[in-house]
Each structure stands twice: as structure tokens, then as C-alpha cells.
Copies of this chain bind each other. A is one copy, B any other.
């Protein structure tokens, strides 16, 4: 069958199950009830403390085939995966599932060996970075990786599609009774929002901390009522790994120029007025765009309602200047943001459910005026790829890309027209569809701005505002004239990845290279 973005899909995929095709951004309406987590019980006199991670394995016990879950709030500084799978290997446990809210990251190259040895045989995540991504593309896992969105994850957990046996929550601070937070402690990472659903639904919840505080922890992110065990380790995460490649501000003048264009698009759209709500993705130009938006808001004395998402230092500064009344933080992208969440009552930690779950009574991304996002490829139907490179190798994932794109009134993609002077980014057909073109309103490049034809009114406004509006096909032609039309990767290998849209339908597949 073909889905709504024209991708051919089988009805059923071994290691995944029945495939529901993507039929449109808001076309799949849930008719189900949530799954049923276990009712737990603990005596008042019981202690939750276990001596070490190996004791956790033996206590639960962790056995072959279980699904283990980790969060990625420390990003490249994530430090539990290594500790946990080393014990799995030591104890001879095999065929484990790895569920991460994001990643693995470049640091986690060692996971490839666990995959090769059959200790990890399946993976569920919002995006894979570094060597593990390449290994997955080359077929290291016998089962296809499931790539979900940030909003899709709590939806999957609530629906029972993703059944977590044991969640290991890297907890920068915890008390003996299992109240935990990421806001404080030597490994503070800010929000723990991506792990809230797992804490609520997993069969067993293990808080792993390097900072035990006196009971009760007062700043509670995940409550003792959900936590089965508390373990102290030397380091549960390295905060220096939080700012990774994708969250550093660009210094490239061309990218800064594009960032300024993004800000002008926002102004030209008419959305930049009191009550304005805003999110930027983790790419360099997106972050820089926040800076230009900030200057406009200051100049015109505009107070926004909220910024959301991965919160970063620019947004924190805007919050502190009163340019936004609220920051909704599902992930803190740098240490300044971590510090802000700990002290500013208007900087609010939110769950991934509140952030982006399409199947609840209204997530916050559905209230966004605008979001600025990146792309590795954009096609003339405005479909965006942030999963794979043009060679078909996995190099990321949706994260909140398709969630925010679907929710925002105006979604802006900012990207260079070509990459490395070699590959076009605007093209006829993206290698892997991550976000459907129907969710994209504007593509900003260094040579011009293309507006989705579905949005005539916006096109007129941007042209009136003096922006260099071009047809998307024109941008494609310029890209191809510059770097030529590279050959497409063969798409005939085994299916190694399933790209789920936020509602759980399948928007594309990734094949072995």
C-alpha cells in the first residue's frame, strides 16, 4: 500500500507488526483506551535503596528479552547505558530491547558491540546519532529500529505499543524514597520531561542517582509513588555532554543571514504580536533566529505568551527579559537553561505528553504560533527528511520535528540550499520522509524563501514584506544547478528502520545500506 506521502509500505513487517499507513497529520483519530500499568504496593517500613545496579538486575530480576528504557536529557553525556549493559553482559543476559527517549549519541559507540553480541537486539528511539546510527543502517540489529517522535513516545507508552519492563531514570538528585529531579545536583540536566511516561507505565522504575538528598526532596519531578528502587552510582550523567553539536550557536555569516530571514518571515507573517508563542529547533541557524526575534520583540515592545520545547539560553534570556511570560521545558539544552529551570517559577518543566502528545486533550505544541526547524532534505512537496542523509544512512530522527510542525500555525524550515557544496538539500523527493509537507509553511534558504502553495495568504504577506519569495521548484533548480543531481541510494535492502509519525502510523521506512 502507499501512504499519504506516497511511500510504499508492506501491511506487516517482521519484528514490528502490522503497519498502519500515515494518512494525514490529523487524520488518525484514537478510539482506544490507555493501557493498564501495574498497581504497586510498598510497606511504610520498606527501603527502596539497593547497593548497586547489579543488585537491581538480581532483585527484579532482569531476564532475556526485556525492554529497558533510558532518557537522553544528558544527550552525549548520558552515562547509564554503558553501566547497565555491562552488567547485562556480565550476567549473560541476551536479546534485550533498548528504549531511549533520544539517541544513542556519538559517545555511545560501545553499544555496537552489545548489538553485535546479541545483547541488544531491538531499539526504540526518537533519533540516533553517530556510529550507532551507521551500524543500524548497516544492519547490526536483527529487528527494525522504531523511530518515534517526542510526542509519539508518551502516546506509544500510554497505548501499550511500547511496553517497558524496566526504566532506569538517570536522576541528578533523589531522596531515599524515590522522589527525583533533574533540576539540581552535580549532574543536573534540567527537565526530565521525556521520562515521565515511562515512570508512570513501566513495570519497574529504578531511580539511578549520584546525589542522594535528605528526605524529602522538595523539588520533585518524578514522585516516590512511581519509583520502585533507588540506586546510587558514581555518575549518572555528565552535564558537559548536554551541549552537543546540534545545540551550539552558529557563527557562519551565511547561516546568520538565514536566521535573520526567519525572523523577518515571522514578522511578515503577522504572527509577531502580543501573545506570540515560539519554538526553535536545535540547529545552529534556528537558535540564532531566536536572537533576531528577540531584538524585534524588544523594539516593538511585544510580550509573548510562551516558548516551548528544547529550551536554550536565548529563550531563557528572552524569558528573563519578560519577552515571554512562560517557558515550557521538556528538555534543557544547556547549563544556563538548567540553572534557570531550577530557580525561575515561570520556567516550567513539562512532560513529553504535555509537550507534544497528539492523543490527549491538547498538547502545548498545538498552541505554537511558529516553530523554526532544520532539515537534511526538503522536497518540492515540502516533505522534510531529518532521519537520514542523502546516502540513506540514519543520522538523526524526528525528535519534536513533526510534532511542532503539525501544531504550529506557521512552520519554518531553515536550511542551506546545498550541503558541503556537494549535495542538494532541496530536491524532487526526500530520501526519508520525516515530516509531511502539509505541516510545512515556509522554507528559508540563503537564496530565497519558498511558501507552501496551500498557504496563499502567507505567500502574499511575505512578498508584501519584501522577502525574496521563490517557488520551491526554483530553489530546487538553483540547488541542482550548483551541485548537480546526485544518484539516489538503492532502496532495496532489508528494512532496518520504521519512521513513525506522531500518531503511530508509518510515514516511511529506512533500508539497509
Chain A residues in the interface with B (C-beta under 8 A):
26, 29-30, 32-44, 46, 48, 158-159, 177-178, 205, 214-216, 218-220, 223-228, 275, 305-306, 325-326, 328, 345-346, 348, 353-354, 357-364, 366-367, 406-407
Q: A421 CA to B328 CA in the complex, in Å? A: 59
> Which residues of the partner chain B approach A359 to less than 8 Å between Cβ atoms?
39-41
By the criterion CB–CB under 8 Å, are A41 and B223 in contact? Answer: no
A-B contact pairs, 9 of them (CB 8 A): A26-B43, A34-B37, A39-B359, A40-B359, A41-B360, A44-B407, A215-B367, A226-B360, A227-B361
The answer to whether B41 and A29 have CB atoms under 8 Å apart is yes
Smallest Cβ-Cβ distance to A226: which chain B residue: B361
List B contacts of A40 (CB < 8 A): 30, 359-361
Q: Assess the A305–B216 pair: CB atoms within 8 A.
A: yes
Task: Tell me if A33 and B37 are in contact (CB < 8 A).
Answer: yes
> Which residues of B lie under 8 Å from residue A38 when comparing CB positions?
33-34
B33 touches A36 (CB 8 A): yes
Q: Give the docked Cα–Cα distance between A39 and B40 (Å).
A: 22
Copies per assembly: 2
Q: Tell me whether B41 and A218 are in contact (CB under 8 A).
A: no
**In the complex, A81→B154 CA distance in Å?**
35
Distance (Å) between the CB of A451 and the closest chain B CB? 20
| A326 and B42 in contact, given A361-B225, A363-B225 (Cβ under 8 angstroms) | no
- The smallest C-beta distance from A146 to any residue of chain B, in angstroms, reads 19
List the B side residues contacting A223 at CB < 8 Å. 354
Task: Find A36's partner among B35, B178, B205, B225 (CB 8 Å cutoff).
Answer: B35
Query: In the docked arrangement, what's the CA distance between A407 and B406, Å?
Result: 47
Residue in chain B with minimal CB distance to A155: B39
Cross-chain contact of A33 among B33, B39, B275, B305 (Cβ < 8 A): B39
By a CB distance below 8 angstroms, the chain B residues around A225 are 353-354, 357, 360-363
In the complex, how many angstroms separate the beta carbon of A84 from the nearest chain B beta carbon?
A: 21
Q: In the complex the two chains form, is B306's CB within 8 Å of A216's CB?
A: yes
Partner of A41, one of B30, B39, B177, B354: B30
